[in-house]
A and B are shown apart, each in its own frame.
Chain A
Amino acid sequence: MHAHVQPAGFHPHPGPYHPPGGGPSPHVELGPAENAIIAKTASRAHTWGIVAMVVGGLASFALVGAFVAMELLIAATPSAVSANVPRLVLGALIPAALVHLAVGVVYMRAGGALQDVVDTQGDDVRHLMTALGRLRLAFQIEVGVTVVSMILGLVIGIASSSTTSLEVR
């Protein structure tokens, strides 16, 4: 076994020893091609986050306004037509719009973590995992909200058809 002679300027990493098969991966620096892909997706994730926030915020504002206007209209001009279905529709859409706003924030942060992969050196894997974790959270929220919206839409559709059939009688 030959002596391990360290050349000038060679500095072993002071980090802890990672046993084979366990622990986090060693430092990895991605190449220019990978950085280009990550940078593009980071930009798009950030942009989508902003768009989702703006649209979610505007939609929430508009829906709350529509809900208030509807309630005022019903109070001012009571009619034989049930207002429960419009209330249900608006009541279901407002939380969905607010969640859209929240998901936008998560996507923005995911884009930030992806951009960190490109902008920094030495922690590419950590930043990638952070970004993937935030994307996972955003996906979970979207899946949950969409499933709930679909179920609510089904319920509202059934309620609406029941109300219409009762009025026809």
Chain B
Amino acid sequence: MSAPGPGWPGHGGWGPHGPPHPGAPGYGVAPHPGAYPMKDAHPMAFHGHGTHHEFGPAENATIGSTGTWAKALGVIGFVDAGLEVLNLNLVGAGIAFAIALAFWKAGSSLTTVVATQGHDVHHLMQAVQQIGSAFYTRIVVTLLAVGLVAIVAVGLVVVAITIGVNAR
């Protein structure tokens, strides 16, 4: 891959197609017309080359702040896991820890997007994957908990009815 150059707006490198050729004014340096597929004929399209994309300052601000809050949610989850351990609820502690770790990792990946250059999309996809894992764990645990509560509630109702019937 050729060394990074001034490139066009928001881009930190030339990508695998090498440096672009001079083009029409108003677009910075436009690529060679044959450099990109015609499916999306935008001169700055990066079909399948997203791994080399660098986000701009506005996107970095959004990504960075989301990463910070994801980490904060992770910290809260770790505290919750600690409290569950103190309550001797080891299963709950384990679940809380797993969810907290996923959010912390997602936050770390998002802040890495802002702090580094060259693998923005890769780190972003890592973060998205971690967030998905956290949601999956929450969904499974919540549905299991609701199911258990429903079973216990039905059981209590059955017991109450049985006692009521026997009392008569």
Identify the A interface with B (CB < 8 A): 1-2, 4-7, 9-13, 17-31, 33-34, 37-38, 40-41, 44-45, 47-48, 51-52, 55, 107, 114, 121-122, 125, 128-129, 132-133, 135-136, 139-140, 142-143, 146-147, 150
Smallest CB gap from A38: residue in B = B128
Task: Tell me, in angstroms, the Cα distance from A119 to B54 when the chains sit together.
Answer: 22
| In-complex Cβ contact of B50 among A30, A143, A150 (8 A) | A30
A142 & B26 in contact (Cβ 8 Å cutoff)? no
Q: How many A-B residue pairs have CB under 8 A?
A: 168
Smallest CB gap from A143: residue in B = B72
Q: B residues 55-78 with Cβ under 8 Å of A?
A: 55-59, 62-63, 65-66, 69-70, 72-73, 76
Tell me, rounded to whole Å, the shortest Cβ–Cβ distance linking A118 to chain B: 11
Task: Tell me, in angstroms, the Cα distance from A127 to B79 when the chains sit together.
Answer: 33
B139 & A48 in contact (Cβ 8 Å cutoff)? yes
| In-complex Cβ contact of A132 among B48, B53, B62 (8 A) | B62
A45 contact set on B, CB distance < 8 A = 131-132, 135
Q: For the complex, is B95 an interface residue (Cβ under 8 Å from A)?
A: no
Task: Tell me, in angstroms, the Cα distance from A23 to B9 when the chains sit together.
Answer: 8
B22 & A1 in contact (Cβ 8 Å cutoff)? yes
Tell me, rounded to whole Å, the shortest Cβ–Cβ distance linking A62 to chain B: 10
B79 contact set on A, CB distance < 8 A = 150
